[in-house]
Amino acid sequence: MSPSLDPLGAALQSPPVPAPGCSQAPVLRERGQREVFCGLTGIVWLHRKIQDAFFLVVGSRTCAHLMQSAAGVMIFAEPRFATAVMEERDLAGLADANEELDAAVTKLLERRPDIKMLFLVGSCPSEVIKLDLSRASERLSRQYAPDVRILSYSGSGIETTFTQGEDNCLAALVPTLPQAEGDEPNLLVIGALADVVEDQFARLFDALGMENVRFLPPRRSRDLPPVGPSTRFLLAQPFLGETARALEERGAQRIAAPFPLGAEGTTLWLKAAADAFGVDPMRIRSATAAPEARAKRALEPYRAELDGKRLFFFPDSQLEIPLARMLSRELGMELTEVGTPYLHRQHLSEELPLLPAETALSEGQDVDRQLDRARAIRPDIAVCGLGLANPLEAEGMTTKWSIELLFTPIQGYEQAADLAALFARPLDRRTRLRI
Amino acid sequence: MQLTVWTYEGPPHVGAMRIATAMEGVHYVLHAPQGDTYADLLFTMIERRDKRPPVTYTTFEARDLGKDTAELFQSTLIAAYERFLPQAVLVGSSCTAELIQDDPGGLAQAANLPVPVVPLELPSYQRKENWGAAETFYQLVRAMAGGQVSQSQNSDAAHSPLPAGISPTRGENGLFETPGTPFSPLAGEMSPEATEGGALAQASQSQTRRRPRCNILGPTALGFRHRDDVAEIRKLLGEIGVDVAVVAPLGATPGDLARLGEADFNVVLYPEIAGVAAKWLKRQFGQEFTTVVPIGVGATREFVAEVCRLAGIAAPEFAPEKPQSNLPWFSRSVDSNYLTGKRVFVFGDATHALAAARVATEEFGFTLCGLGTYTRELARDVRTAAKEYGVEPLISDDYLEVEAAIAEAQPELVLGTQMERHIAKRLGIGCAVISAPVHVQDYPARYSPQMGFEGANVLWDSWVHPLVMGLEEHLLGMFREDFEFNDEAVPSHLGSGARTAPEPAEGIQVADCEAPAGVGWGVDAEAELRKIPFFVRGKARRNTEKYAAERGLAEITVETLYDAKAHFSR
Ligand code: SF4
Ligand code: SF4
């Protein structure tokens, strides 16, 4: 299964061979029941990342229940998210709803004087009754400036799936970023990354001699990075369509790159940025060679376990295509169907050519029909959400629950093997258990 | 708008899902936005079910809103019927679909499915999960069991859904006149003698020469220990000579519901879920129902007596030499002496909270220092009980309010839900879970009922476990300076991290913990305070401050501390 030429070497010597891969492949587009999270779920990791921000969902008991089911085990003295649950009388008149919202925000900020940034997060009910949260955030911002900055975005299920909540949150941050002064080029790395991953990338950019590198979102809401026409940005996550658009509106330019998953992915990602900043190829090589070799060494034992194993992706996070690329090229896994909730052709332009041409791509979902296909294929591993995982296990399929891919540091060289391990573990477990 | 950190109950459509998922042959088509499928993982992960819940969601998106969401509902309904071929279909809306008003009931009727369709009206902005479960079960029972009788008999077929809750009109007076009379959410619903049912049972029994037969009502999917409670009660009923006709909704089919009327009477295990249906069955078929929830030894004995009365059979003699439960002996044994008067705070759904309050006081010898529920439908029962126990009732679904009440009461043990576990961890107080909502660890692999005699054994073990053991407690009180064995160390028999807050009373600032202004602690007094074992230290601090404030003292000295101790020890 393994391609005989070293994909990394090839990638570095010449730009990836413009083999078509999956760039022209037909995509199965399905409508029907979607077994996906709404964008509110992004709060679960965003509120840990931005440490002085609070997320107030304006929604129903359902939204509060979702947040709690997704984050219920996290026992904090004071969690930095909550729900303003709409009640009967809020539905009666929007004027009242706005007053009620102001009262809820006041109560909240009195309780939490340490909060510097408040996100009002829209939900399906608040959007269906057309409660204008952007107006509300402007109104409240005026009231609480300069102590608290109040922003809004939508995390509703009708507008967003899962990771798109992060996209909308970051997009809401973009207009508030300070203007970059001068024409000194600077780099922005976009997407919430585990702190350890962010630190590694910062060191790598340092080794590449790139000085002006900042990350969005920041760990503190007062450390917002500047942006302007001198800014180039590099997406660390594939689900950031809106954020990219907002950055482009501020004159920043995107650096096209595959995503930093696996040894190859990380090198190509770093190289794209370094090339854009005119870093000497020798310097790129010297900065990346050692960690890349280390990552590949760490991947080897997993390659032995995963080579030739057949993989099926249910749609979840938009990470599916970059993951499929990494797992097929670096670990020799065989792709059957790769489903994604939303396929952003432009942002995946560097990924799709790297996918094996025979991969079946699907966008959207009709879960019952997709389950039929998975049952017919009987993959060695099905990547799916928690609503499907145990039922599929009970049918004898091995699964990897996909949410973990958002809650685990997987990007960069040092995490390449951890990423592989996430997929090897369920198979390992299956062979260990004798019951 | 209500500012909500954690919520005790989900929306009502989750209650409906709990009924559908509990049953066989029922499918639920839910008009809901993309994203609401999160609820599936409550069943597949928390309860660890091996099948997908029998729920099909329309998962509409914003772009569908401009178009025909009603058409989407109808096509989803037909596709779901054709794929799953259920014996009955539930249709309804989630909170968002409720706003767009597509009328799933009417649409389903128009679809003309060849099976019964039960439309659910669940007002998401007023009601919650248990109400949704009770209403769904009631509607299903009416639709299925109602078919048994002719339309003319079915006098209330057209009445609108019963009001929320279970027993808004139970008699609230005189319950404590006889000591030990249980608080039950259903008590007072029936005539005290309830001879009617017994006679009825006897009559039909002698005709057919069969054992008396009952239904067990209330257990659902995602219920706290419902699986094992049913097994335990089924066993108990068998031992006293009563057969079980139908258990519902857990494991029942629509066909089973149609047979509900054949039983002699009903056993209502969870009034929050089955109270409304039981009352309807009584009106419809004259079936009496049990009002004692058999949690704890005393309640179980009363439950047995009640069942025997309803079944028209003699109550069994429980031979003292062959105890049904280990709890009474364990609680009498001298090792348990130190449990006497431990201050306990109880919070949960009304049924479990009321049962726990009784067990804690009568069977563990604890002192109740707080009692509350999030079940507003049964608030009256809890209020009455709290009054009898001499504590302030707490009727609230506001987590922060519960937190403040616990901080205020300074208990040594909290019996509550998953939320109270969070609170107790913060406050550094031992905690055991007695009621939903709960996490995955409270759907255990091992047999762990709460009900019946074995349930009492389980209660014993799980409530005593979080407490520091007797010897340890004494030594902590005697040797305050021990470098390894101090109150910041975790109790030896608990895993790491069970007690996290080193100093419960001051570690946190709950909004309304008013530290009396102007009263400060002297250095010596502060040091002396630390010599008091941690589990009563918070109480001592509070009492001393109160004592000082009342007397207008500016500083608390060692003397003040002991004056207050003497003052409050009366
Ligand atoms: S899908 Fe909509 S209604 Fe459901 S939890 Fe998400 S935002 Fe709330
Ligand atoms: S997955 Fe388990 S631990 Fe996590 S919130 Fe759900 S029940 Fe609790």
DSSP string covering A346-397: TTTTTTGGGS-TTPEEEEE--HHHHHHHHHHH--SEEEE-HHHHHHHHHTT-
Beta partners for residue B493, in sequence order: none
CA–CA gap between residue B354 and residue B385 (Å, rounded): 8
What atom in ligand 1 is closest to the CA of residue A155?
7
The token pair that represents B94 in the structure block: 């989630």
Please report, in tens digits, the pLDDT of each residue of chain A (435 residues total). Answer: 344 444 444 444 444 455 678 888 899 999 899 999 999 999 999 998 999 999 999 999 999 999 988 876 565 556 899 999 998 888 877 767 888 999 999 999 998 999 999 999 999 999 999 999 999 999 999 999 899 999 999 999 999 999 999 999 999 999 999 999 888 899 999 999 999 999 999 999 999 999 999 999 999 998 999 999 999 999 999 999 999 999 999 999 999 999 999 999 999 999 999 999 999 999 999 999 999 999 999 999 999 999 999 999 999 999 999 999 999 999 999 999 999 999 999 999 999 999 999 999 999 999 999 999 999 999 999 999 999 999 999 999 999 999 889 989 999 999 999 999 999 999 999 999 988
**What amino acid occupies position B316?**
P
- Nearest ligand, measured from the Cα of B31: 1
Locate the chain B residue with the closest alpha carbon to A104: B3
CA–CA gap between residue A377 and residue A397 (Å, rounded): 11
What was the pLDDT predicted at B526? 87
Report whether A392 contacts A379 (CB < 8 A).
no
Chain A residues with CB-CB distance to B84 below 8 A? none
**C-beta atoms of A33 and B76 within 8 A:** yes
For residue A170, report the distance from its CA to the centre of ligand 1, in Å: 20
pLDDT class of B563 with cuts at 50, 70, 90: confident
Stated as kind and residue range, the H or E segment containing B268 is: strand B265-268
DSSP label at residue B183: P
Name the residue among A317, A324, A354 with its Cα closest to residue A338: A324
Q: Is A142 exposed, middle or buried (0-12, 13-18, 19+ CB in 10 A)?
A: exposed
- Nearest ligand, measured from the Cα of A123: 1
**Residue found by looking up tokens 């990494």 in the block:** A326
What atom in ligand 2 is closest to the CA of residue B441?
7
Contacts of residue B506, defined as CB under 8 A and 6 or more positions apart, other chains included, come to B541
What atom in ligand 2 is closest to the CA of residue A386?
1
Calculate the CA dihedral of residues B15, B17, B21, B27 and round it to 10 degrees.
Answer: 140
List residues near ligand 2 (CB under 6 A): A 72-73; B 45-46, 439-440
pLDDT over threshold 70, residue B497: no
Q: At what angle do helices A281-306 and A262-276 cross, to 10 degrees?
A: 160
Ligand 1, atom 4, lies closest to the CA of B36
Starting at the edge strand found earlier in the chain, the sheet holding B393-395 runs B393-395, B367-373, B343-348, B413-416, B430-433
Report whether A349 contacts A23 (CB < 8 A).
yes
What was the pLDDT predicted at B566? 82
**Alpha helices, DSSP H only, in A236-280?**
241-249, 262-276
**Alpha helices, DSSP H only, in B33-170?**
40-41, 62-65, 69-84, 95-100, 104-111, 129-145
Of the CA atoms within 13 Å of residue B276, those in its CB half-sphere come to: 25
Interior CA angle at A422 toward A421 and A426, to 5°? 100
pLDDT class of B485 with cuts at 50, 70, 90: low
List residues near ligand 1 (CB under 6 A): A 38, 40, 59-60, 62-63, 66, 123-125, 156-157; B 33, 35-36, 96
Q: What SS3 class is residue A180? A: coil
CA–CA gap between residue B108 and residue B117 (Å, rounded): 7
Report whether A325 contacts A11 (CB < 8 A).
no
For an interface test with B, the pick among A33, A123, A317 (most B C-beta atoms closer than 10 Å) comes out as A33
Q: What SS3 class is residue B269? A: coil
Chain A residues with CB-CB distance to B44 below 8 A? 386-391
DSSP string, A183-242: S--EEEEES---HHHHHHHHHHHHHTT---EEEES-SSTT-PPPBSTTEEEEESSTT-HH
**C-beta atoms of A64 and B125 within 8 A:** no
**Residue found by looking up tokens 């895993």 in the block:** B495
Q: pLDDT tens across B111-158, in order? A: 999 999 999 999 999 999 999 999 999 999 999 997 543 333 333 433
**C-beta atoms of B126 and A393 within 8 A:** no
Q: How many CB pairs under 8 A join A and B?
A: 184
pLDDT over threshold 90, residue B51: yes
What was the pLDDT predicted at A3? 41
Output the CA torsion sign for A366, A369, A372, A377.
negative
Across the interface, of A68, A158, A389, the residue whose CB is closest to B33 is: A158
Report whether B309 contacts B198 (CB < 8 A).
yes
- Percentage of chain B surpassing pLDDT 70? 79
What was the pLDDT predicted at B148? 41
- Ligand 2 pocket test: pick from A73, A386, A402, A404 the residue with the most ligand atoms within 8 Å of its Cβ: A73
pLDDT class of B503 with cuts at 50, 70, 90: very low
**How far does B546 lie from chain A, in Å, by closest CA?**
25
Q: How far is CA B36 from the centre of its chain?
A: 25
Stated as kind and residue range, the H or E segment containing B546 is: helix B534-550
**Chain A neighbours among B 82-101 (CB < 8 Å)?**
83, 94-96, 99-100
Q: For B107-111, which contacts have Cβ atoms below 8 Å and span 24 or more sequence positions?
A: B107/B70, B107/B73, B107/B74, B107/B77, B108/B29, B108/B74, B108/B77, B110/B74, B111/B74, B111/B77, B111/B78, B111/B81
**How far does B64 lie from chain A, in Å, by closest CA?**
9
What was the pLDDT predicted at B183? 56
For residue A63, report the distance from its CA to the centre of ligand 1, in Å: 5
Report whether A373 contacts A337 (CB < 8 A).
yes
What was the pLDDT predicted at B474? 59
CA–CA gap between residue B308 and residue B202 (Å, rounded): 11
For an interface test with A, the pick among B1, B398, B419 (most A C-beta atoms closer than 10 Å) comes out as B1
Locate the chain B residue with the closest alpha carbon to A393: B50
Ligand 2, atom 4, lies closest to the CA of A73
Ligand 2, atom 2, lies closest to the CA of B440
**How far does B24 lie from chain A, in Å, by closest CA?**
16
Question: Is B512 part of the annotated catalytic residue set?
Answer: no
Question: Range with the lowest mean pLDDT among B61-70, B329-338, B523-532?
Answer: B523-532
Omega cis (within 30) before B437: yes
pLDDT over threshold 70, residue B169: no
What was the pLDDT predicted at A183? 83
Mean pLDDT across chain B: 84
Locate the chain B residue with the closest alpha carbon to A395: B50
For residue A324, report the distance from its CA to the centre of ligand 1, in Å: 29
Would an 8 Å CB–CB cutoff place B513 in contact with chain A?
no
Question: Range with the lowest mean pLDDT among B154-163, B179-188, B402-411, B447-456?
Answer: B154-163
Question: Range with the lowest mean pLDDT among B155-164, B284-293, B314-323, B540-549?
Answer: B155-164
Greatest mean pLDDT among A263-277, B430-444, B501-515, B517-531: A263-277
pLDDT over threshold 80, residue B189: no
What was the pLDDT predicted at B196? 45
**Alpha helices, DSSP H only, in B209-259?**
226-240, 254-258
For residue A156, report the distance from its CA to the centre of ligand 1, in Å: 5
Catalytic residue from among B36, B50, B228, B335: B335
pLDDT over threshold 60, residue B500: no
**What amino acid occupies position A55?**
F
Report whether A226 contacts A188 (CB < 8 A).
no
For residue A125, report the distance from its CA to the centre of ligand 1, in Å: 8
